[in-house]
Amino acid sequence: MSDSLQLLPLLGLLLLAGCATTPANVAGAGTQLETRQIQTREYDTLDKAMTMRSVIATLQDLGFTIDQADAELGTITATRLHEHTMRMTVTVVQKDGLRIAVRANARIGENSVTDAATYQDFFVALDKAMFLTLHKVD
Amino acid sequence: MSRAIFTLLLVAMLGGCAASLPEAALRLPESTLEVRSIQTRTLATPSEIDILTATIAVLQDMEFNIERIEKPLGVITASKVTDADSRSEKTGLMFLDVLCALGGGGGCDAMSMAQDDQHITLTMVVLPSLARSGEYTARITIQRVIYDKMDRIKVLERIDDAHTYQQIFDNLQKSLFLQVGAK
């Protein structure tokens, strides 16, 4: 048997070991606190309803359609079909006083988005929409 | 020889497992303002119920099914599945199959790649105008998935062309006129 043929089963096993395992991955990766920090910003300029209006405008600016929105629970889920399928859930929660916490989490296809820069881009876009809402620009 | 096989397998392995996320996936594109203006109109209407009713009616006119409505946020989501058959595309693919068969090749099945149907999702957000009281802003976003004859996704895209949005807003104006006039 030639060298190359002897190598084949070994490499085949390596291939299977690399790809074949499918853990349930229900809890997700990354630490809970770190994930929350990356995905959350707090605002004290607009009320909950106007913040939700700004979030919806931001999602539309980014090319999403809204799958579901609940004003009472402050939750919006949206999908974007462009090259990849991207889904986002954004929650708007009234904290003490005027403070509003906005948390966004995103998935692209089968992968969750974990990099801070992508969330930073989302919040930059949201800042602009909040500014327009605050200054009563449609 | 063994080195070549090893390299090939390594590439296959990486290709199979690696998942690359697009950069700047949530960065605002430069065309944001232009797209926003294409997708938005301000309409004068006596009440919120009038414009929401007229919006739902216009979506029904366009044969959409209403998926969800969240009235406090003015969000209406609708969808429809339509035929995406294109005669010119099918002619081209049939020509490819004929060429393939004439060349003596087996498995000539370019026709299975032909577009079959498209799933269109539309969100309309209707809210009181921030700038002018008594007026409402309506903003629409539309996207679609086109499947081929084998139910494989062929196109994933959002609809950006101004003509489509203009047509919907024209229909909405008419619908609003009928809605208010019927009272």
Spell out which residues of chain A touch residue B168, defining contact as CB-CB under 8 Å: none
Task: Render pLDDT for A24-43 as a digit per residue (tens, 0 to 9).
Answer: 777 776 677 888 999 999 99
| Section B24-46 average pLDDT | 91
Taking the mean position of all CA atoms in its chain, how far away is CA A126? 13
Contact assignment for B156 to A60 by CB distance below 8 Å: no
pLDDT at B166: 97
* pLDDT exceeds cutoff 90 at A10: no
Nearest neighbour of A125 by CB, restricted to B12, B28, B39? B28
Inter-residue contact A43 to A100 (CB < 8 Å): yes
Which helix H or strand E contains B175, and what residues bound it?
helix B162-181
User: Any alpha helices (H) in B40-86, and if so which ranges?
Assistant: 48-61
Contact assignment for B1 to A133 by CB distance below 8 Å: no
Range name among A55-59, A90-94, B54-58, B114-118 with the lowest pLDDT average: B114-118
In chain A, the domains with their CATH numbers are 31-134 (3.30.310.80)
| Section A18-23 average pLDDT | 58
The structural architecture, per CATH, of the domain B41-85+115-181 is: 2-Layer Sandwich (3.30)
Inter-residue contact A114 to A104 (CB < 8 Å): no
DSSP E strand boundaries for chain B: 40-44, 65-70, 75-83, 115-128, 135-148, 153-158
* pLDDT exceeds cutoff 60 at B168: yes
ipTM > 0.90, yes or no: no
Q: Give the rounded percent of residues in chain A with a pLDDT score beyond 90.
A: 62
Min Cα separation B100/chain A (Å): 30
Nearest neighbour of B5 by CB, restricted to A7, A67, A106? A7
Which helix H or strand E contains B47, and what residues bound it?
none
pLDDT at B18: 47
Q: Which residue in chain A is spatially nearest to B20 when comparing CA positions?
A: A111
* pLDDT exceeds cutoff 50 at A1: no
pLDDT band of residue A80 (cuts 50, 70, 90) is very high
Q: Give the rounded percent of residues in chain B with a pLDDT score beyond 70.
A: 76
Q: Give CA separation, B181 vs A46, B163, B174, B175, B177, in Å.
A: 37, 27, 10, 10, 6
* pLDDT exceeds cutoff 50 at B131: yes
**Where are chain B's structural domains?**
41-85+115-181
Which helix H or strand E contains A88, and what residues bound it?
strand A84-94
Please name the residues between 133 and 152 in chain B that touch chain A, using a CB distance below 8 Å.
137, 139, 141-145
Nearest neighbour of A81 by CB, restricted to B12, B42, B156? B156
* pLDDT exceeds cutoff 80 at B12: no
